[in-house]
Amino acid sequence: MSKPRYWDDAARELSRRDPVLRRLILAHPGVHLKRRSDAFTTLACAIVGQQISVKAADSIWRRFVASVDASPPRGFPRLLPDRVVAAEVRALRACGLSQRKAEYLADLAAHFASGRLDPLRWKALDDEALIEALVDVKGIGRWSAEMFLMFHELRPDVLPVDDIGLQRAIALQFNGGERLPREAMFAVADLWRPWRSVATWYLWRSLDPIPVEY
């Protein structure tokens, strides 16, 4: 839950380079990206929450956690891949999961249990290599992988140009409210390297001052 080591340096440098970001950074002091849980639990939670309301996702998530006997019982639980692998798809469906999401969770658990996804090896991977490894899992697309790199791995230079919130924020802050094509978004963001995750996070704050945690 501690602040990423690079955060203060990134905020100072972005403030120096970009007057828009300087204004946003000054408007939101003392807040930053936070890692919430372990890698497997974070990805499983993201899959459960796809395309449903926050309230529905929370209810299904709690039933899912109980069904696979997660540990520890208090706070945000830590799921064990082996227990999800051992669970029958029928049991996962009984938690309120769709057939497709149950299959996605089973595939995610199999990737972790087999070592195809091994967090201990990720530090040696650059962003694109880790995204490629993550999207090999059914149900994880590029956007989900980018959110994971930002919110769990705390990678400093991710630019999720397919994110609707980022598209809207760049349009409002840099182009009079009109959406920019992908290439133009990359051009605007080139000034923010190697801190594009930090810039994105502050641009999100321009739309919603309350940070989202994954």
Within the chain, where are the H helices? 7-17, 19-27, 39-48, 54-67, 81-86, 89-93, 99-114, 127-134, 142-151, 164-174, 182-189, 196-207
Query: Is 199:205 a contact under the CB 8 Å cutoff?
Result: no
Distance CA(189)–CA(133), nearest Å, equals 25
Q: For residue 30, give the amino acid letter.
A: G
Q: For residue 177, give the amino acid letter.
A: G
Query: Is 155:163 a contact under the CB 8 Å cutoff?
Result: no
Q: Mind telling me the catalytic residues?
A: 163
Distance CA(65)–CA(103), nearest Å, equals 16
